[in-house]
Amino acid sequence: MNNNIYFVSLGCAKNLVDSEILIGGLKHQDYNIVNDIKLSDTIIINTCGFLDVAREESVDSIIECTDLKKKGLIKQLIVMGCFSSRYKDDLVKEIPEVDAFFGTSDHSEILSFITGKDFKKDDPDYFRSLLTPKHYAYLKIAEGCDNICSFCSIPMMRGLQKSNTLEQNVLEASNLAKRGVKELLLIAQDSTTYGTDLLPKSSLYELLDVLDNVKDIEWIRLHYAHPAHLSRKMIKRFSRLEKLIPYIDMPTQHGSDKMLKNMKRGLNSAGIKNKIDLLRQANKNIAVRTSVIVGFPNETDKDFDNLINFVEEVEFDRLGVFKYSEEEGTSAAIDYKDNVPKKIKEERFAEIMKIQQKINLSKNKKRLNKVEKIIIDVSNKDGWSLGRSFRDAPEIDNYVKINTKLDVGKFYDVKITNAYEYDVLGELIN
C-alpha cells in the first residue's frame, strides 16, 4: 500500500473544510499526509471552479502533477472539487493521466477508491484534520445554494442548499472547542438562509443562540451573509449574544440598481443601505466586510459612478473587488455579452481599491491610542507577533503587528500606536 499522500487544496474556505474532512478520513485509515511532494505516492488536488483565475490555477496544478506522474515520480493522481465536478467529462478526455475525478462531496467514494474498502457516508471515518492554526476553524453549516444570482455557477457545482441540522453543527462546534478552537468562522454559500430547507425549519439566529453557549468558544464570526435574506431577528443577535462578535461578511456586489437587478440580487441599493443601517444601530462597533464586482455586462460609466458613491457613502470596514468573469451556463452568460473591455475592468478595479484605501486609513486612525482585544496568529522568534481584532477575519483581512513575542492562539489587550491603510501597529498592555 502506497501510504504517502500530498494534498493540494485550492479555492475558498468551504473547499478547505472538504479537504480537512477527507484528510481526517485518510489519516484514520493510516495514510500519511506529507508536506513534501517529492515524498508522495499519491497526489490529491481539491480544485476550485469559480472565476477564470481559479480555473486557470486548477488546470495549472493538474498539469504540473501529471508531469510528475509521467516521469514516474508519483503513482497516483486524483482530482476532486468544484472544477472537477463541473468539467469532469472534458477533463477525462483531455487529461487521461489522472486516475480518477470526483465531485465536491465524494469523500466516501475517494476513500473507497484509495483504500479498496467500502465506505458509507455515516461511517466513523470522518475525523476532520484541521489545516488552519488550532485556535480557529471554519464551521460549514450548510452546503450548496438555492439563490439564482446571475453571475454565479456555484449551484451547478455544489447543488441546492443542504443545511446540517442544528444538532450536527453544535456537536461539531463542541468537538472543535475541545480541540482548542477559540474562534468559529461560520460559512455556507448563503449563511442567512441556513435551516430553511430543514424539516422542521430552523434559522441562522436560532443556531447562533445555541452556539453562543458552547463552552470554550470565545469568538463566533459570521461569513457569507446575503443582504436580501438578513432578517431583523438575526441583526438583533449582534447586540444580544456574547460570543457573536460585531463582524459580518456580507457581499453586496454593486451599488447600481440596474446592475443589482441584472445580477438578480433581490435588493436595490437603498435596501442594502437599510440593512447596513440596521446593523450599525444594533451594534455601533460592527465591522461590515463586503465584496463588489466591476465590469459586469453593460456596466456603464454611470453604473460605476453609482458604485463609487455607494462605497463612499457606506464606508465599509473591509472591501474586496472582483473583476467580472463569465461563468458558462449562468443566466448572465446566456443573457448578456461580456462587453466591458478588460482594460476598463482593470481601471475600475484600481479606482475602487484606491477609494477603499482612503476609507481604511481614516477608520484605522480612529483606532489610535485605543485598547483592543487581539487574538494572536503568528509569533516570530525575532520578537514580534501578528494578531487580529474582531474587525479582521483570518486570511482575508488585516493584522495588528505587535512588538512583542506572544503566545499563538491567546488573547491580549493591545494599544494601537500606528495606523496605515491596511495593518496597524500596537503595543502590549501589561
Quick one: how far is CA 68 from the chain centroid?
30
d(CA 395, CA 137): 12
pLDDT tens digits, 313-342: 999 999 999 999 999 899 999 999 999 999
Instruction: Quickly count: other Cβ atoms within 10 Å of residue 302's Cβ.
Output: 10
Judge contact between 284 and 257, C-beta under 8 A.
Answer: no
Q: Where are the beta strands (DSSP E) in 21-175?
A: 32-34, 42-47, 76-81, 100-101, 136-140, 142-143, 162-163
Backbone torsions φ then ψ of 102, nearest 5 degrees: -135, 165
The reported pLDDT for the residue numbered 124 is: 47
* pLDDT over threshold 60, residue 141: yes
Give Cα separations from 175 to 126, 136, 342, 388 (angstroms). 13, 13, 47, 24
Cell of 377: 496568529
Least confident of 99-108, 243-252, 269-278, 282-291: 99-108
From the options 2.40.50.140, 1.10.287.3610, 3.40.1670.10, 3.40.50.1000, give the CATH code of 371-428: 2.40.50.140
At 88-128, the pLDDT tens digits run 888 899 999 999 999 888 888 898 898 888 776 555 445 78
Task: Give yes or no for a contact between 92 and 101, defined as CB atoms under 8 angstroms apart.
Answer: yes
Q: What percent of the chain has pLDDT over 90?
A: 77
The CATH architecture one would assign to domain 4-115 is: 3-Layer(aba) Sandwich (3.40)
Domain 136-363 part of CATH 3.40.50.920: no
How far apart CA 344 and CA 140 sit, in angstroms, is 36
Whether the CB-CB separation of 127 and 24 falls below 8 Å is answered with yes
Tell me the domain boundaries of the chain.
4-115, 136-363, 371-428
CB atoms within 10 A of CB 230: 23
Which pLDDT does position 121 carry in this prediction? 58
> How many whole angstroms separate alpha carbon 39 and alpha carbon 406?
34
Per-residue pLDDT reduced to its tens digit, 243-258: 999 999 999 999 999 9
In Å, what is the CA distance from 392 to each residue of 185, 219, 247? 11, 12, 8
Which bin fits 247, alpha (ψ -120 to 50), beta or left (φ > 0)?
beta
Cα separation, 2 vs 14, in Å, equals 28
Q: How far apart are CA 67 and CA 314, in angstroms?
A: 49
pLDDT of residue 156: 86
Q: What is the pLDDT of residues 346-390, one digit of tens each?
A: 999 999 999 999 999 999 999 999 999 999 999 988 899 999 999
Q: Which helix (H) or strand (E) holds 301?
A: helix 301-314
